[in-house]
Amino acid sequence: MAAMTAGEIRAIEDRFPLLFRRPVYKRFGPLLLLAGTVLYLAYALWFFSLPQVLRDSHWERLPLFLSQWVSYDLQPEFRLDQPQITPKYPRFSALGDSPNPDWVTRNADGTFTVLIDGLAKSVTFDKTQAIITANGQTIPVALASGKPVIAGPVPDWITAHDDEVVARMGFAGEVRVTVDRVKVRKRFLGWANFVFDTRSPFFGKSTGEVVTLILSGPELKPGTSNLALAGDNIWYNAQWQHGDVWTKMLQTIVMAFLGTLLGGLVAFPLAFFAARNITPSGWLSQVLKRFFDFMRSVDMLIWALFFTRAFGPGPLAGSAAIFFTEVGTLGKTYSEALENIDDKPREGVISTGANGLLVQRYGVIPEVVPVFISQTLYQWESNTRGATIIGAVGAGGIGLKLWEAMRTNSNWANVFYMVLLTLLVVFTFDAISNFLRRKLSPTIHDYNRSQAEQV
């Protein structure tokens, strides 16, 4: 095969200039984009001081923080400066008013033994000595000299201060020993008293005993069936407050539904006047689009703060905040959907001599209704999450309850309970939204097409 001449090569280049003579920005565009991305990431690392932040972070606290979401602890305290050593439990202990756990034992020789994690991790003590066992080691702590003293080397899981010895035993808990007291923190996996609190007559009973009492046991409260009593005790659980939590969750759902529904009803007609290809006035279109921009540019949280001041704390402020935000968001999405329709169906309806209202009904709406349904359902689902956030600033719902639990910085199990409940509701509404989109969109489209054919 003969080699191509220079003239033939130039002729081919002239025929296909976009292939052989691409602009510089097209030839090096991907490389420049990659270099820009790398430079931006390097700038972000410097601007936010991420290496220093990561280095100074207390990552050792993360396991303890996470454990507090899925566990609870009991903290008996034993005073050694009293005539007789007796355990003292914090007020409102998860063990009830008369705690007698099997992991606290008074021995025959007058000493106490507290099992932190079975026999592998425990502490045995009297007024003169505490013996701490953990990690295969047994460490005696003498208390007779006026301060706790450890004879011999101190293992790394024990910290010896001048007036206190702290033994860390991982997830299982810890022991603090001073000359006048021994304080134990024992951690349990799970949520304490999630069903019945310590005030309930069902507290401390096994599942079988509770079922037997409900089905065939004598009335625990005269005039009230055991089933009704059990339901009342669960609903008004003082520790977990199921009734209040579920009521606040229902408020959040209603806020999201009401705000989205009203926002969609207002945005629907306004979108027709904002769409350039629908409205006869370009000035009106621009005014409405800037109105939509304003409504959605003010964050839902800001609207919630404003309406909380106007109406006071409660779900009305939350519903109003969602409504104002959705007028802007749905108005914009609706008008953009209208501007991207195919004009042929509308032109066909116009050719029949139909008036303007019928033209929109049969020439426009059949095309955009599936998009409107999809966007509205998505916003409804999204606002269920958003309503949780705005609740934290006083707009009512589960968000306010969640914020109250977080402020204590010690009630993380309740926080996790409400987080899981919110996730469950969001997942449920996501499934409902997907189902409705699949079912309603084809049905409405087919109906509107049949109506258009009749016209």
Name the CATH superfamily for 242-454.
MetI-like (1.10.3720.10)
Closest CA to 133 of 152, 144, 118: 118
Quote the strand ranges of 169-210, DSSP E. 173-177, 181-189
Rg value, the chain, Cα: 35
3-state secondary structure 110-131: CCEEEEEECECEEEEECCCEEE
pLDDT by residue for the chain (455 residues), tens only, comes to 556 676 766 776 667 666 666 666 667 778 888 999 999 999 988 888 888 888 888 787 778 788 889 999 999 999 998 888 889 988 878 888 878 898 999 999 889 999 999 889 999 999 999 999 999 999 999 998 888 999 888 999 999 998 999 999 988 999 999 999 999 999 999 999 999 998 899 998 889 999 999 998 888 888 899 999 999 999 999 889 999 999 999 999 999 999 999 999 999 999 988 988 887 777 988 999 999 999 989 889 899 999 988 888 888 899 999 999 999 999 999 998 888 877 777 667 666 666 667 777 766 777 788 888 888 888 988 888 888 888 888 888 888 888 888 887 778 899 999 999 999 988 888 888 788 777 766 555 554 555 445 54
Tokens 């005696």 -> residue = 140
Q: How many CB atoms lie within 10 A of CB 384?
A: 25
Distance CA 207, CA 223 (A): 23
User: Is 114:186 a contact under the CB 8 Å cutoff?
Assistant: yes
Question: CA angle 213-216-222, nearest 5°?
Answer: 70
DSSP 61-88: HHHHHHHTTSEEEE--EEESSSSS--EE
Ordered by start, the domain boundaries in the chain are 74-189, 190-233, 242-454
Burial of 69 (0-12, 13-18, 19+ CB in 10 A): middle
Question: CA angle 383-384-387, nearest 5°?
Answer: 75
Q: Which residues of 303-323 are buried (b: 16+ CB within 10 A; e: fewer)?
A: bbbebbeeeebbbbbbbbbbb
